[in-house]
Structure 1
Amino acid sequence: MSGESASVLIIDDEPQIRKFLRISLASQGYRVVEGVDGRDGLTRAALERPDLVVLDLGLPDMDGQVVLSELRGWSQVPVIVLSVRSSEAEKVRALDAGANDYVTKPFGIQEFLARVRGLLRQSTVPASTAAQVIAGALCIDFAFRRVSLDDQAVSLTRKEYAVLAELARHAGRVVTQQHLLKEIWGPSHGGDSHYLRVVIGHLRRKLGDDPAAPRFIVTEPGVGYRLVSNA
C-alpha cells in the first residue's frame, strides 16, 4: 500500500511526539490522524478506520496495553507500539496481545518509517473489518461497547454483552457452546452449558426474541448458537 493511499493513526499524549511523527509521515504521503489519549484513540480508530496505528503505552487515561486489547476486540489493523518501556516482558506482553511491532523511544525516524512501510505491505486487513455489526434492527457497536435495538439502547450485563459480541463477530456462522464458554467464562468452564443457557435466555428477553421464531439468535441443537446475518 502506497503512502498516498494509506492513513496512520497516532495515539500519543505527547504533542511534540505527535508533531514529529505527523511531519515525518506526511512527508511520505501518509494521511495522519491523531488521538490524544486512549479513549480518543479508540474512537478515532472506529470512525477513521486507519490503515495502521502507532500506539504509545503511557497514556493518561488508560494503559496502552488496555487500548490494544480493546482494539483487538473488533479490528485487526496493524499496530506499532512506540514506547519508552524497554523491558522484554513489556514487549512480549504487547506482542502477545496483538501488536505487530514494538519500537522503543528514543528511535530513529528512518528505521521507524521502514517499519511502517513493511507493515503496510504485509497488511492483510480485509476491507470489511467492521467496528459494528448490524442484524436488522439490532446493532452491536464493538468500539463503544453499545447495543441498540430499533435505535434504542439495550442495557446488558458484562456477560450478556460478551456473548452477544462473540456471536456478532461470527454473524451468520454457528458458534459452539464450548467456544463461548471457554472464551467468556474461561478454559475450565467448557462443560458448564447451563451458564450459557441462562445468559442466552436473558438476551432473548431483552431483545424481544422468540426462541420458537427467532429474529436474532438461533439455537443449533446440541452444537451452539448463531446470530442471524441481515435479520
Structure 2
Amino acid sequence: MEPIGAEGRDAMRGLLGAVNESLGAPMAPPWEAACREVPRHAFLPEKIWVGEDLKECSRGAAPGEWLRHAYADTAVVTQVNDGQAAAEVGERWASCSASAPSIVFRMLDMLDVRPGHRVLEIGTGTGWNAGLLGPKLVTTIKVDPALAAQAAGCLERVGLGAEVVQGDGARGHAAGAPYDRVVATCSVRAVPPEWVAQTAPGGVVLVPWESP
C-alpha cells in the first residue's frame, strides 16, 4: 500500500475530527485505529464523481482535490451509469458510492462485532467497510462483477482477507452461514428471509431502513 504522505495525514486528522463531531463523541479506539490502518483513499478508484451534479474528479488530473474528497465526511460516487462511459454532457446517475465515513463508523459501532464473529456484509461497495472490519471472518457480497473484482483487489493490496462474493445480496451467502452479524450497506424496505435464516441464534441483523 502506498504511503499516505503529509497531505494525506492532515486530511486523515481532519476526517477523524469530522467523524467525532458527527457522532457527538470520540470514535471507539479500535475503530480509530482501523481508520488509520485501512485508509479510505486506498479503496477509491482513480476517477470519482462529486457534488449534486456528479462532477468528475480524476486523481491523475487533480490529486489534491481527489484526496480532499477521499477524506471528507461525505459520500463519494465511485461509479456512474452502471459503469457505462459517461458523456461530457448528458445524464449521469450514481450506481455505486462510498458512504460518508460518519455513517460507516456509526453502523460499525452499532454492529458490536466481537473477536471470532463471522460477518456477512450485503453490498461491498469499494471494500472499505469490509477492510475496516479487519482480519475477522468477513464475507461481503456485490452483484456487479467488475466492482466485486475491484474491491477484492483493494482488500488484497492492503493485506486483508475478506471473502468477496459476486452475487445477489438479497439471497445472502448460505455457504458461509451461520453468521453472527449481518450488515447491509444499502437501505431496504423489508429484510429478506435468507438473511434471518443465515444468522446464528442471538446474532444481529443491521440494515438502513427505508420507509415505504
Q: TM-score, normalised by structure 2?
A: 0.29
Q: TM-score, normalised by structure 1?
A: 0.27
Highest RCO, 1 vs 2 (Cα 8 Å, sep ≥ 6): 2
